[in-house]
Amino acid sequence: LPTMKMLLSLIALLSAALLANTAPPTCYSRVLSLSKEITESFKELQTSKAVDSCVEMLPRLYLDIHNYCVLAKLRDFVAYPRCERVLEVSELKEKARSLYTIMISYCRRDLVFLTDDCSTLENPILPPIEPS
């Protein structure tokens, strides 16, 4: 019986150690996940029927964090003067501002830009949609 208690205690201790050792998100993983979240939110905003007509005029927001032009794209989107009264747009601008800040300050040394082709952010080549 004491051996069983010791074994259970050891299992509990090892389980706690494994949970404690999970790696925190890296700068790269945080930037990648936030850019995907912003891109998805923008797509949802564009397809939402309850959205103001100003949303149609918003700058296109396709983000590729490996493209140096993404920084200018984020600046342009955040600085866009219209749609202040649309809550979803304000929230999206705040996320874009956060991503920009993370990229230029916290993660500046960790990011590698593979291209500076700004046209791909305007007209992205998206993967084909797989039939379901």
> pLDDT class for 132, splitting at 50, 70, 90?
very low
If you count DSSP H runs as helices and E runs as strands, how many of each does the chain have, helices first? Answer: 5, 0
pLDDT in tens, 7-19: 677 676 666 555 5
Q: Is pLDDT at 46 greater than 90 in this prediction? A: no
Q: Where are the alpha helices (DSSP H) in 21-130?
A: 27-47, 70-79, 87-101, 119-122
- pTM for the model stands at 0.70
Length of the chain: 132
Other CB atoms within a 10 A radius of the CB of residue 109 amount to 7
Flag the least confident range among 33-42, 50-59, 86-95. Answer: 50-59
pLDDT in tens, 82-120: 887 888 889 999 999 999 999 998 887 777 788 888 888
Q: Residue type at 30?
A: R
- On whether the CB atoms of residues 73 and 35 are closer than 8 A, the answer is no
